[in-house]
Amino acid sequence: MTPVVETPRLLLRGRTLADFPAVAAMQADGDVMRYIAGAPVPEEDAWSKFARMEGFWALTGIGFWLVQEKASGAVIGEVGLADFRRAIVPPLGPDPEFGWMLAASAQGKGYASEALSAALNWGDARFPGARFCCIIDEDNAPSVRLAERHGFRRERTATYKAKPIAVFRRPSASSA
């Protein structure tokens, strides 16, 4: 079961079938997906990703939350951590991988930082002493800034799906 995490403006929660249209719309937006998938994601693929995220929680106890704006009730993004078992060269290693995505209408309002902070706090409590990683397209300057503001540091460039990708790592909260 997906835990619920609350911030002053946001609710990080699991998915319901009623949430799929909002998530599919985000993934169909070329501006949102430019650095994540390289192009808009077809509805069929969006559905597979949507269902997979709930599966992560059920199977591993970690996954991505939906980010819901409390004031409007709108689903505005996703944030979380998972073991995607990515075929990255060289491999990421055992550290849980964080990621985030926000609807274009929600960007520039501090929601990503608020959601990532809450998710990292949850992760630090769940995995004391763990280091976390994330991968970011090297051209995604806003995401790089967000990661760095939250303690991630660029570690190296790796290859993922035949393209270069920046690997960031965050030291454990206990060593910070």
What was the pLDDT predicted at 175?
A: 67
What was the pLDDT predicted at 1?
A: 85
What was the pLDDT predicted at 176?
A: 56
pLDDT tens track of the chain, all 176 residues? 899 999 999 999 999 999 999 999 999 999 999 999 999 999 999 999 999 999 999 999 999 999 999 999 999 999 999 999 999 999 998 889 999 999 999 999 999 999 999 999 999 999 999 999 999 999 999 999 999 999 999 999 999 999 999 999 999 887 65
Evaluate whether 102 touches 76 at the Cβ level (below 8 Å). Answer: yes
What was the pLDDT predicted at 61?
A: 94
Spell out the residues 6+ positions from residue 113 whose beta carbon is closer than 8 angstroms to its own.
146, 149, 150
DSSP letter (8 states) at residue 90:
S
The Cα–Cα gap between 136 and 157 comes to 10
